[in-house]
Structure 1
Amino acid sequence: MTASAIGVIGGSGLYEMEGLTEVREVVLETPFGAPSDAFVTGVLEGRRMVFLPRHGRGHRLLPSEVPYRANIHGMKQLGVDRILSVSAVGSMREAIEPGHMVIPDQFIDRTQGKRASTFFGNGIVGHVAFADPVCPDLSGVLAEAAGEVGATVHRGGTYLCIEGPNFSTRAESRLYRNWGVDVIGMTNLPEARLAREAEICYATLALATDYDCWYEGHDDVTVEAVMAIVRQNVALARRILRAAALRLDSDPGCACGSALRYAVMTDPARIPPATREQLALLLDKYF
């Protein structure tokens, strides 16, 4: 593994990272297949950065088609110990207006089982703690950075992840509002869960683009409307990411880096050799 790095996963509208020096593209294969695209590595004022467009350049992958395991494993291969995830979301509260930023601290999973959501299986059982699904230290830095550059930011809140690719029905949107969720998106699960299994700190910068379809009297969500707000916010998101990266110390110093210490239930002697090899990057330090 290479030296420690900060990872950025770009969502809708954010397909490249600006301001990097020593830039190069890295094409990786992982034990879980090919990632969404080539990784772009570089240096930002002394910090090693690794960028990946979640949907691939040109936005080619549906939320259900994103190779989440390969993306997170590839980040781990490149020495990433913190991931800043950028995602376009719908707002489920009037106070979160289109154009605002949200730093969620909870998730609800409403995906439909179409996504591989764990590195475990095939002869090995592991259970990581996920009560607090984002790194509080990293999300705190992200919130401070958003405030520093003048963004309207809401710290904390629940991100509801749906399967997509269609937006919600009006009945679904009203139901989700009754659950007390704050934003709705399609990609941050299983991404956050896999990052925890890979012992990588994870936090989300959610860009509110619309009011979903619950808001009577407000235009219903459309791709055109979403992308108009995304284009306005991409420059701001890049400034936030830069400010956050420059605030990060070399050592995360949180508990995320030991999430697997007591997670594996399986007797090591009974783990199939092929599975043991597949998970070597994650488990070698414990076995």
Structure 2
Amino acid sequence: MAKLAIIGGTGLNKMSDFHVIRREVVHTPFGEPSAALTHGVLTDNEVIFLPRHGPAHNIPPHKVNYRANLWALKHIGVDRVIGVAAVGGISAEMSPGRVIIPDQIIDYTYGRDHTLFEYDLNQVTHIDFTQPYCEQLRKRLIVAGITTGQNIADTGTYGVTQGPRLETAKEISRMERDGCDLVGMTGMPETSLARELDLCYASCAVVANWAAGKGDQPISMEEIEKNLLVGMRNVRALLENLLQTSQT
């Protein structure tokens, strides 16, 4: 049976009816993943959960071992991955608390290990990244969001910055001119590595705050936490509906 994995924060552990079966430690050629892989059952479907920033949420975005994370999931038989991420809203419609299923991505990161194809190659390997996300999985997420009554955004361009600092107002202005609708720090190379491993990958982004210069007030952790509380509740409802209505 196909296996679905969710990469994200601790919110999954609070999903109703998510029963943890076991935790599996996987060693990879690229080092250690962020955490042991948590096998569980949700709505009668097997789900594997991986906390991107570690169990204690102490791995910053630029230090996440994205290669190990994706390789470990592929190694245990996962073929579909949903990457849940907190982002900042740039476009006017990307308001705090809203859930976005992006369809495009722009990479502003640097210095990250961004490919599996480096050593001992028989030939140089390229991937087609014209459409970075798995459209089949994107559509399923969109339908699940609509079914649960959410004002879900079914399109958007995710601009990925290096972090861990937040951006300046002028950087956000540049990203807006580039066509970015939202900004986050973990979308790349997670998305492209999934493509290299032939994994069906889609992003489920929660707007935690207005990006720099887009809101009336300075960005605060209190605001972010408040918006994530609402947004992650919607994500959990979306994921539960997705699993209830179709087989993974």
SS at match of 1:144: helix
Match of 1:149 in 2: 148
Match of 2:95 in 1: 97
Matches within 5 A, 1:123-272: 123-124=120-121, 125-215=124-214, 218-250=216-248
| Contact 2:45–2:247 (Cα < 8 Å) also in 1 | no
The count of residues paired between Structure 1 and Structure 2 equals: 245
TM-score, normalised with respect to structure 2? 0.93
| Contact 2:209–2:223 (Cα < 8 Å) also in 1 | yes
Match of 1:26 in 2: 24
SS at match of 2:206: strand
Distance 2:99 2:91 in 1: 13
| Contact 2:53–2:59 (Cα < 8 Å) also in 1 | yes
Distance 1:234 1:132 in 2: 26
Give the drift of 1:248: 4.0
Aligned-partner residue type, residue 178 of structure 2:
W
For 1:156-175, what per-residue CA distance to the aligned partner results, in whole angstroms no more than 9, with x for missing partners?
A: 11000000111111111111
Distance 2:18 2:214 in 1: 40
| Contact 2:207–2:231 (Cα < 8 Å) also in 1 | no
Larger radius of gyration: 1
| Contact 2:99–2:234 (Cα < 8 Å) also in 1 | no
Aligned-partner residue type, residue 100 of structure 1:
R
Give the drift of 1:155: 0.5
Distance 1:215 1:42 in 2: 39
SS at match of 2:128: coil
Distance 1:21 1:176 in 2: 41
Give the drift of 1:240: 0.9
> Where do 5+ consecutive residues of structure 1 fail to align?
251-287
> Where do 5+ consecutive residues of structure 2 fail to align?
none
- The one of 108, 123, 133 equivalent to 2:106 is 108
| Contact 1:8–1:52 (Cα < 8 Å) also in 2 | yes
Give the drift of 1:17: 5.8
Distance 1:123 1:78 in 2: 23
Kindly report the root-mean-square deviation, in angstroms, between the aligned alpha carbons of the 2 structures. Answer: 1.6
Aligned-partner residue type, residue 162 of structure 1:
T
User: Equivalent pairs: percent with the same residue?
Assistant: 34
| Contact 2:62–2:112 (Cα < 8 Å) also in 1 | yes
| Contact 1:15–1:52 (Cα < 8 Å) also in 2 | no
TM-score, normalised with respect to structure 1? 0.81
For 1:170-193, what per-residue CA distance to the aligned partner results, in whole angstroms no more than 9, with x for missing partners?
A: 111111111221110000100010
Match of 1:81 in 2: 79
Give the drift of 1:242: 1.4
Match of 1:39 in 2: 37
